[in-house]
Amino acid sequence: MISRREFLKKSGLLATALAIPTPASNVIAPGTEDELHEVVPRPSLNPSSLAPFVDPLPIPEVAQPNGYRADPLHPSERIPYYRIELSEIQVKVHRDLRPTRLWGYGATSPGPTIEARKGSPIIVEWVNALPKAHLFAIDHHIHGAEADKPHVRAVVHLHGARVRPDSDGYPEDWYVPGKSRLAYYPNVQDAAMLWYHDHALGITRLNIYAGLFGAYFIRDSAESALNLPSGKYEIPLILCDRRFDSQAQLYYPTSPMFHAPWRPEFYGNTILANGKLLPYLAVEARKYRFRVVNVSNSRFLTLSLSNNQRFHQIGSDQGLLRAPVLVTTVILAPAERADLVIDFLEHPGTHIVLSDPSGPIIQFQVDASAAAKSAALPATLRRIKPLPPSSAVRTRTLTLDQYSDPSGRVMRMLLNGMHWNMPISERPVIGSVEIWRFVNLTPDPHPIHLHLVRFQILDRREFDVDAYKKSKALHFTGPPMRPDLNESGWKDTVRCPPKTVTRIIARFEGFTGRYVWHCHVLEHEDNEMMRPFEVIR
Ligand code: C2O
Ligand code: CU
Ligand code: CU
């Protein structure tokens, strides 16, 4: 069996996505499944005991404005105003299960899909209407989650959005039930699938696990002109792994140490697609566009189809790629997005399952009647100019670190050896281009995300970790590897394999002020693989 680490390392370094075989093994890392050591073991739900593919895939409803308000930047103009309440909800995640208690935006998890147009700003009032007690155990050893902090706190971040700092959801800007915050989203960026989710300091993993996430689409005319599958042929797929107990309630395992329940990763044993377990989707024998986001806490997904059919990836985190890329599998680390076009034309009357090595996700039931042939994909999707490394005014070398206690138990992760509350050390100048190279000293891959900016991946290169730890000198042990074709567009989250230096290049444009960058494995982010950065004048 090939381990998750090795697998991800290899796949991250492969030159083309085409060549990646679907691994037969499970991607769960050894040592993460020690439920036997639970303080209070709970009988758990065995997902394979459930009847598969009996529920239709829910499509989150599109949010409707609650009114119009003056644009704070152009007071003569009125712009859509949305009011969205975070609340506790009861949801049937499967036909044969009793309702599960979740937290949602509005009455659902995922929350409503927000549809926005490039250049048309909106205002969202995010209202914390959650109960006073949390669904999960809080680890008070974790920074920002000390015993004097309220258990239930929330703050919304729009992942991938270029917004002012006061609307970005700074992790310390959380607020308690009964309070609300206005966010201004200018939508001055290219068409892309963004997603909104909770970002409260020290408990993000628990709040997102409870169900606090939703999709946000920015559309623009360049994308509309491409005539891609749209309307009922464009489907958001919001995926996350979960565990349930025998009462169909969410179960988030804790460490064997009663007072320090944090665990370094979470892996579920089943996957929710738009909030359902093992749903189906009835499709016509034609092209569909799937907008996929991995909102799992820790799991890297490797998606493929049961008939081994090839499909196209046309976009990633920050919108369209240069050209469609033909793939048989797609890897998505937590927070990464994939824009996929699957053509069911050749498969009328069949059932095709989309799955991850950890299990099936959704079944496509292709209608038996032949459908009208859908338009061919354009050969070119968009122009993306490479940011030349020579345009960078600065290169920052930033380590990804993991610390264990004497018994080998992982205690925390840091970025560049620094804690969250240490002084800001990354201060890019507005409008300037920088290269950030992530030197991964840990045995695991980390999906690193920067707020505010979009970036390009330059390359990945293996190096000698021990030599670096001794002398802080980088000794490369292999040649630089270009990113896969399907990660060669604009990104906001990058997989950083172990023993590898991953280089990205970004222009720090948009706004000045304080933002964050962090690992998007939520257990890592919470403890304390997250740092502020400040864009300065
Ligand atoms: Cu998905 Cu700091 O964000
Ligand atoms: Cu983000
Ligand atoms: Cu990490």
pLDDT digits (tens, 9 = 90+) for 299-347: 999 999 999 999 999 999 999 999 999 999 999 999 999 999 999 999 9
User: In angstroms, rounded to a whole number, what is the distance separating the alpha carbons of residues 223 and 229?
Assistant: 11
> Do residues 242 and 272 touch, judged by C-beta distance below 8 A?
yes
- Percent of the chain topping pLDDT 90: 88
What per-residue confidence (pLDDT) applies to 98? 97
pLDDT tens digits, 243-268 = 999 999 999 999 888 788 999 999 99
Residue 358 Cα to ligand 1 midpoint, Å, equals 24
> How many angstroms separate the Cα of 461 from the Cα of each of 482, 498, 508?
9, 10, 24
Rounded average pLDDT over 137-165: 97
What per-residue confidence (pLDDT) applies to 203? 98
pLDDT tens digits, 439-494 = 999 999 999 999 999 999 999 999 999 999 999 999 999 999 999 999 999 999 99
Element (H, E) at 293: strand 287-294
Using DSSP's 3-state secondary structure scheme, residue 526 falls into: helix
**Relative to the alpha carbon of 522, which ligand is closest?**
3
What per-residue confidence (pLDDT) applies to 17? 30
What per-residue confidence (pLDDT) applies to 256? 84
Q: Whose CA is nearest to atom 1 of ligand 1?
A: 159
pLDDT at residue 513 above 60? yes
User: In angstroms, rounded to a whole number, what is the distance separating the alpha carbons of residues 229 and 324?
Assistant: 14
Report the half-sphere exposure of 493 (CA within 13 A, side-chain side). Answer: 27
> Do residues 496 and 437 touch, judged by C-beta distance below 8 A?
no
Give whichever of 22-26, 39-43, 135-139 has the largest mean pLDDT: 135-139
User: In angstroms, rounded to a whole number, what is the distance separating the alpha carbons of residues 208 and 200?
Assistant: 10
Relative to the CA of 197, which ligand 1 atom is closest? 1
Relative to the CA of 160, which ligand 1 atom is closest? 1
> Between the CA atoms of 493, 499, 505 and 511, what dihedral angle is there, to the nearest 10 degrees?
50
Spatial CB neighbours of 164, under 8 Å, sequence gap ≥ 6? 184, 186, 511, 513
Relative to the CA of 516, which ligand 1 atom is closest? 2
The strand ranges marked E within 134-191 are 156-159, 180-185
532: phi then psi, degrees, rounded to nearest 5: -75, 155
User: In angstroms, rounded to a whole number, what is the distance separating the alpha carbons of residues 438 and 416?
Assistant: 9
Nearest alpha carbon to residue 535 among 427, 450, 452 = 427
pLDDT at residue 418 above 80? yes
> Do residues 186 and 162 touch, judged by C-beta distance below 8 A?
yes
Relative to the CA of 493, which ligand 1 atom is closest? 1
Give the lowest-confidence range in 176-180, 224-228, 374-378, 381-385. Answer: 374-378
Q: Give residue ranges with CB within 6 A of ligand 1.
A: 157, 159, 197, 199, 335, 449, 451, 516, 518, 520
Q: How confident is the model at residue 407 (pLDDT cuts 50, 70, 90)?
A: confident
Relative to the CA of 525, which ligand 1 atom is closest? 2
Residue 266 Cα to ligand 3 midpoint, Å, equals 12
What per-residue confidence (pLDDT) applies to 41? 61
**Relative to the alpha carbon of 445, which ligand is closest?**
3
What per-residue confidence (pLDDT) applies to 6? 40
Residue 86 Cα to ligand 1 midpoint, Å, equals 18
Tell me what the pLDDT averaged over the chain comes to. Answer: 92
Q: Whose CA is nearest to atom 3 of ligand 1?
A: 159
**Relative to the alpha carbon of 8, which ligand is closest?**
3
Q: How confident is the model at residue 42 (pLDDT cuts 50, 70, 90)?
A: confident
Residue 519 Cα to ligand 1 midpoint, Å, equals 9
What per-residue confidence (pLDDT) applies to 306? 98
pLDDT at residue 15 above 70? no
Residue 493 Cα to ligand 1 midpoint, Å, equals 9
- Percent of the chain topping pLDDT 70: 92
pLDDT at residue 22 above 80? no
User: In angstroms, rounded to a whole number, what is the distance separating the alpha carbons of residues 278 and 276?
Assistant: 6
Rounded average pLDDT over 410-428: 96
What's the first-to-final CA gap in the chain, in angstroms? 51
Residue 162 Cα to ligand 2 midpoint, Å, equals 9
pLDDT at residue 1 above 90? no
Q: How confident is the model at residue 408 (pLDDT cuts 50, 70, 90)?
A: confident
CA 375 distance to own-chain centroid = 30
Q: What is the pTM of this model?
A: 0.92
Q: How confident is the model at residue 370 (pLDDT cuts 50, 70, 90)?
A: confident
pLDDT at residue 37 above 80? no
Using DSSP's 3-state secondary structure scheme, residue 36 falls into: helix
Q: How confident is the model at residue 4 (pLDDT cuts 50, 70, 90)?
A: very low
pLDDT at residue 43 above 90? no
Nearest alpha carbon to residue 161 among 464, 460, 522, 449 = 449
Q: Structure tokens of 210?
A: 């409870």
Spatial CB neighbours of 466, under 8 Å, sequence gap ≥ 6? none
